């Protein structure tokens, strides 16, 4: 009798195990091959000198990293990435919040505003990049024409062609693309704030500004943290738009770690060095995300 019971239990466990393998296995396999394995492989490749085409590769230890530390273009791209992080967090999120608040208020023609505000995020990055290259075009671009029309012809320039303006021109385009995303994100956060709280504050004589800083903002912190994490990681790995618009030029004024990595790997065929850049990106993104999230956890605990 007991033998039967334990046999049935064993059979049950076996069938549960089989079921789990069958249901989780395929996804886990794809995930492991294309997501987990490459992280280790990147680090492994970064210890070699290798073209990626020939089969021969030479072990050089941490030589690629030493080269990275001395490399001026890498410094430049790291600086640009950090600039992009700050520019993104400090413009996209506040602007997104302002727009989200705007969409909550009663303005005539709200449907139109809501619909149009979101449009930039729907265009593919490549399309945005090409479109804005024509907006910035020095001879027939809209921006220079508009400057001439309002009497500021002296400000006209080749926005993407000059090292001093290229990065800012690109950042403006990136903000155009991503602000709608943070608007949507923060609007969802705002919708989660109970109406009664704001109502009670109004009855108690709170000014709108006070109820914003004392109620809305504190309750919005989790959403803001998420927005910061997404924006920071996104900026550290940014590639598409800059690659299409400037390829990192002119004179590496808009070079990012990702564009540098791509060019080293697929133009210079210096896979080992590119892998070292790639590993650096991974470590940086990891550190930053972990820092923000643990700071947030610390804050949440302090609040209790």
Partner 1 sequence: MKLLKSLLMHLLAVVWLLIAGYPYLYMIATSLKSQENFFRNPTSLISTYTYSNYKLVVDLGIFRYFFNSLVISIISVVLIVLLASMVSYCLARIRFRLNRPLYFLFIAGMMIPVHTTLIPVYILTREIGLYDQLWALLGPYIAFSLPVSVIILTQFAREIPVELEEAAIMDGAGRTRQFASVVFPLLTPAVATVSIYNFIHIWNEFVFALVLITTRERMTLPLGLREFYGEFSVNVPGIMAALTLGTLPLLLAYFISQEKVVRGIAAGAVKG
Taking CB under 8 A as the binding criterion, the range among 59-67, 157-165, 198-206, 272-280 that sits at the site for partner 1 is 272-280
Site string for partner 1, 101-130 (x = CB under 8 A): -x--x-x----xxxxxxxxxxxxxxxx--x
Any contact of residue 300 with partner 1 (CB under 8 A)?
A: no
Neighbours of 3 (CB within 10 A): 7
CB of 296 to partner 1, least distance (A): 9
Specify the residue for token string 């549960």: 16
DSSP 209-248: HHHIIIIIHHHHHHHHHHHHHHHHHHHHT--HHHHHHTTT
**Considering only residues 28-87, where is the footprint of partner 1 by CB under 8 A?**
28, 30-31, 33-39, 41-42, 45, 52
Backbone angles phi, psi at 58, to 5 degrees: -110, 130
Any contact of residue 271 with partner 1 (CB under 8 A)?
A: yes
Taking the least distance from each CB to partner 1, the nearer of 83 and 147 is 147
Supply angle C-alpha 236, 98, 223, rounded to 5.
55
Radius of gyration (Cα) for the chain, nearest Å? 26
Tell me the sheet residues that pair with 59: 48
Measured CA to CA in angstroms, residue 213 lies from 217, 236, 288 at distances of 5, 30, 27
Size of the site for partner 1 (CB under 8 A): 85
**Farthest-apart Cα atoms in the chain, separation:** 97
Taking the least distance from each CB to partner 1, the nearer of 55 and 164 is 55
CB of 206 to partner 1, least distance (A): 16
CB of 146 to partner 1, least distance (A): 7
Taking the least distance from each CB to partner 1, the nearer of 19 and 86 is 19
Taking CB under 8 A as the binding criterion, the range among 3-11, 160-168, 194-202, 220-228 that sits at the site for partner 1 is 220-228
Distance CA 193, CA 183 (A): 16
Neighbours of 283 (CB within 10 A): 11
Taking the least distance from each CB to partner 1, the nearer of 200 and 283 is 283
Taking the least distance from each CB to partner 1, the nearer of 137 and 165 is 137
Taking CB under 8 A as the binding criterion, the range among 155-163, 193-201, 212-220, 231-239 that sits at the site for partner 1 is 231-239
DSSP 263-283: HHHHTS--HHHHHHHHHHHHH
Taking the least distance from each CB to partner 1, the nearer of 157 and 237 is 237
Taking the least distance from each CB to partner 1, the nearer of 167 and 227 is 227
**Considering only residues 79-98, where is the footprint of partner 1 by CB under 8 A?**
98
Distance CA 215, CA 133 (A): 42
**Considering only residues 167-196, where is the footprint of partner 1 by CB under 8 A?**
176, 180-181, 184-185, 188
Which residue of 60, 193, 198, 289 would you call a contact of partner 1, by CB under 8 A? Answer: 289
């Amino acid at each position: 009798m007991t033998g039967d019971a334990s046999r049935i239990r064993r059979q049950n466990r076996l069938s549960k195990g089989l079921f789990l393998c069958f249901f989780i296995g395929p996804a886990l396999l794809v995930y492991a091959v294309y997501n987990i394995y490459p992280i280790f492989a990147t680090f492994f490749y970064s210890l070699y000198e290798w073209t990626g085409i020939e089969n021969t590769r030479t072990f050089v230890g941490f030589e690629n990293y030493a080269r990275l530390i001395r490399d001026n273009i890498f410094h430049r791209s790291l600086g640009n990435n950090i600039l992009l992080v700050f520019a993104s967090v400090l413009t996209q999120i506040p602007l997104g919040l302002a727009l989200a608040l705007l969409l909550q208020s009663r303005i005539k023609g709200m449907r139109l505003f809501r619909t149009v505000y979101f449009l930039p995020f729907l265009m593919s990055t490549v399309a945005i990049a090409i479109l804005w290259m024509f907006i910035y075009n020095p001879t027939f671009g809209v921006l220079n024409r508009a400057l001439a029309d309002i009497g500021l012809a002296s400000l006209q320039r080749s926005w993407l062609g000059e090292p001093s303006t290229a990065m800012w021109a690109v950042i403006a385009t990136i903000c155009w693309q991503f602000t709608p995303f943070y608007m949507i994100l923060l609007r969802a956060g705002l919708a989660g704030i109970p109406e009664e709280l704001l109502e009670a504050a109004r009855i108690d004589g709170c000014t709108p500004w006070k109820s914003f800083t004392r109620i809305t903002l504190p309750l919005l912190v989790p959403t803001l943290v998420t927005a910061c994490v997404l924006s920071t990681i996104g900026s550290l790995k940014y590639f598409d738009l800059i690659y299409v618009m400037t390829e990192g030029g002119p004179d590496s004024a808009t070079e990012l770690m990702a564009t540098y990595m791509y060019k080293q790997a697929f133009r210079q065929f210096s896979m080992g060095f590119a892998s070292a850049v790639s590993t650096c990106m991974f470590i940086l993104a990891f550190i930053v995300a972990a820092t923000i999230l643990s700071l947030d956890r610390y804050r949440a605990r302090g609040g209790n």
